[in-house]
Chains A and B, each alone.
Chain A
Amino acid sequence: MNHKNALTPWLFIGPAVLLLIAFSLLPILVSLLISFTDMNLIGLRNWDVISFVGFENFIALFQDSLFHRSIVNTLVYVSIGVPLVIVCSLSVALLLNYMTNKLFTFFRVLFYVPSITNIVAIAVVWGFLYNMDVGLFNYILNTLGFGKVPWLEHPFIAKISLIILAVWKGIGINMLIYLAALQSIPRSYYEAADMDGANKLQKLRYITIPSLSYATFFVTVTTLIGWLQFFEEPFVMTGGGPLDGTMSMALFIYESGFQYNDFGYAAAASLILFVFIIVATLIQFTFNKSKEN
């Protein structure tokens, strides 16, 4: 675009970028630097005793079976959870966009509240739903003649249970984003389609979804980043169990850093997580660009 002064864009992005550099980027660089050290609590207090240990932390991580498991678990979370979140929040947004009367305002509130429900309440209610012996889900299954499902008591099923919970929680924000995006689709597109005699599905397929692609791109990238850092759900629901079946990379990092004060090790694990995330993000950006061109 044409603008006379080369400084203009910097006036817009400057304040935000400076603050981000100071309070996010530099601290992150410092913590990544820590990944090559043996920093622990003693080192935290007295930096003189910290020494660089090269790739020792990384070598130890590659031998740590718990870390391997956390990677596998995280990949399971992401590959099931991310598509689900996108499909669910888009569907909800489309339904909610159907009308704008008072009733639908109320519905919008209903679908938004999971994202602002207190985490303790979430833990208790879902803990009950998933309880193997007295839980509601198993009660319903039982009345229908099915057996007990070990929702949180089996390493693989527990992962699925946490995904369902996280999708439920993640719909709210993404639904809002889609709702906002739906407003920017010009009505004239639909009017033209109506004149061509297009049916609803065709309009959805050829107008709505393509017009939303910029929002879908945002939702995909941020959801993927968020889910690669899957943390809160296993933290409050299972603590990584049973048998480490729900241990995620972010929870692993938290435990090594904050429970065991092994900051170097935790930083090394977060560097690996960082590499996963940046690769995933770059792939999406490249893919998006080639699609645009």
Chain B
Amino acid sequence: MTFKKSLVMVAGVLAIAGCGNDNDTSGEEANDGDTVTLDVWAMGEEGNALGSFVEAFENEHDNVEVNVQAIPWGNAHETLLTAVASGNGPDVLQLGTTWVAEFAGAGAFLDLSEYADEYDVISNDDFFEGALDTTVYDDGVYGVPWYVDTRVLFYRTDILEEHGFSEPPQNWEDMLEVSRSLADRGEGMYGYDIDQNDQLVPPIFAWQNGWEFNEEEAEENFSDPAFREAMEYYHTFFNEELVQVTEGVPIEQGFEEGSKPMFSSGPWMVNILRDSAPDIDGDWDVAMLPGSERNASAIGGSHLSVFAETEHVEESLAFITYMSQPETQIEWFKETNALPARQSAWDNEELQQDEKLAVFGDQLEEAVAPPVLNQWENVAQDLLSSLERINRGGADLDEELDDFQQNAARRLN
């Protein structure tokens, strides 16, 4: 007996017990005339804002009514899983860039590449390259970039200046020099801050060192000297106590107090700092991340994807097209501060004039996409655990990374 057969038997019993019906509840039966209701899932606060934002689209398309369902960020993954399991989902949904591989691999979304001729937003090279990279899985295209984010270096201009650094660090050596000098200020003072639970930090260091992940080489990627060197560099910050190993105070507070005068984070941090640390307004700035081979960072954000079971492909793509127009993206940016995924949207004056934003724009051009790979999440988490054992547990760097590589071999093959 196969698994499916045994499951069908259980389900059959239940269906009888519950007088079940097999009606497809995802279709919109309650439509009058030719109006199509388009179900859209979007996340959290941003999803809430989308509800009223789509009115402009509805005005343009008389026959489409958009029903936005906002889903809390913390539960988006579970909710998506139930939708995938039942085939009972929305038409269009917001998809975090890191979730493409797992869900596209399961066939949850429509491959948009076959519609690329009709809809020019699909794989349009006006989007940031890193953002487009994460829409592609196994030669299919599973989304259209909606908004992007990337990490940059936040630094205290006043403190760096005090210690003779008029410019933010440009490369790895600068970075170490500045960090060492700032960490030398005394007990409880650090140079930099590294979030040890952030899966993107170790790969960012590796990319900065010229490392590139090559899918065919699987675990051999991790024997690349560029990778190993980057991990050693990462470890240096902990080894020399340039960063705090323990929890400490929240970063925005450490930054304000000056105990952690540099950290890397995304665009959301700009507003958090403006709101929560008004006292240091004007005493901090952002810069591109320092690198060794290149000033790489990671690209994140969200795409819009079409659910495989949708009956409204045309309307879905019309909606996605609307959302990815440069003008719409600028409007959306004004509403939510989400950075436009389209490069031409960045020509807008408001985005141009804000110097801090411009840094994000520059960084986005150097932003690398994490591999769109089913097992990447596991591998990245393994790497964090290994690094924790090195930094906290005093494990030997080379041995630990060899172990990590062996584990990766198991996962990637």
A residues with CB within 8 A of B: 22, 26, 29-30, 33-34, 37, 39-42, 44-48, 50-52, 127, 131-134, 150, 152-153, 239, 241-244, 258-261
Residues 1 to 48 of chain B near chain A (Cβ within 8 Å)? 2-4, 6-7, 10, 13-14, 17-18
Q: A22-B14, A51-B2, A258-B81 are in contact. Are A41 and B7 (CB under 8 A)?
A: no
Residue interface mask B166-197, A partner, CB < 8 A = 1? 00000000000000000000001000000001
CA distance A45 to B109 in the complex (A): 11
A-B residue pairs, 8 tightest by C-beta = A47-B4, A41-B106, A50-B3, A42-B106, A44-B85, A45-B106, A132-B246, A37-B3
* Number of cross-chain contacts by CB at 8 Å: 88
Q: Is B61 in the interface zone, CB < 8 Å from A?
A: no
Is the Cβ of B84 less than 8 Å from the Cβ of A22? no
Contacts of B103 in A (CB 8 A): 41
Q: Is B163 in the interface zone, CB < 8 Å from A?
A: no
**Which of B220-228, B346-354, B387-395 touches A?**
B387-395
Q: Shortest Cβ distance from A13 into chain B, in angstroms?
A: 17
Q: Shortest Cβ distance from B4 into chain A, in angstroms?
A: 4
Is the Cβ of A33 less than 8 Å from the Cβ of B3? yes
Is the Cβ of A242 less than 8 Å from the Cβ of B392? yes
Is the Cβ of A41 less than 8 Å from the Cβ of B18? no
CA distance A132 to B245 in the complex (A): 11
Q: A30-B7, A39-B3, A50-B4 are in contact. Are A44 and B81 (CB under 8 A)?
A: yes
Q: A26-B14, A133-B188, A152-B247 are in contact. Are A33 and B106 (CB under 8 A)?
A: no
Is the Cβ of B246 less than 8 Å from the Cβ of A150? yes
Contacts of B244 in A (CB 8 A): 133
Is the Cβ of B3 less than 8 Å from the Cβ of A52? yes
Count of chain B residues with Cβ under 8 Å from any Cβ of A?
38
CA distance A46 to B103 in the complex (A): 12
Question: Could you give 22 example pairs across A and B, Cβ below 8 Å?
Answer: A22-B14, A26-B13, A30-B7, A30-B10, A33-B10, A41-B103, A42-B107, A44-B81, A45-B84, A47-B4, A51-B2, A131-B247, A132-B246, A133-B244, A134-B248, A241-B197, A242-B388, A243-B388, A243-B393, A259-B77, A261-B81, A261-B102
Is the Cβ of A52 less than 8 Å from the Cβ of B388? no
CA distance A8 to B246 in the complex (A): 62
Contacts of A26 in B (CB 8 A): 10, 13-14
Q: Is B406 in the interface zone, CB < 8 Å from A?
A: no
Is the Cβ of A29 less than 8 Å from the Cβ of B378? no
CA distance A275 to B184 in the complex (A): 55
Chain A residue, CB-CB nearest to B77:
A258
Contacts of A48 in B (CB 8 A): 4
Q: Is B272 in the interface zone, CB < 8 Å from A?
A: no
Is the Cβ of A47 less than 8 Å from the Cβ of B246? no
Chain A residue, CB-CB nearest to B105:
A42
Name the contact of B3 in the complex, choosing from A22, A41, A51 (C-beta under 8 A).
A51
Q: Is B385 in the interface zone, CB < 8 Å from A?
A: yes
Contacts of A51 in B (CB 8 A): 2-3
Q: Shortest Cβ distance from B263 into chain A, in angstroms?
A: 17
Contacts of A42 in B (CB 8 A): 105-107
Is the Cβ of B84 less than 8 Å from the Cβ of A44? yes
Chain A residue, CB-CB nearest to B17:
A22
Name the contact of B7 in the complex, choosing from A33, A46, A150 (C-beta under 8 A).
A33
Chain B residue, CB-CB nearest to A66:
B385
Is the Cβ of A243 less than 8 Å from the Cβ of B392? yes
Q: Is B277 in the interface zone, CB < 8 Å from A?
A: no
Q: Is B78 in the interface zone, CB < 8 Å from A?
A: yes
Q: Shortest Cβ distance from A112 into chain B, in angstroms?
A: 27
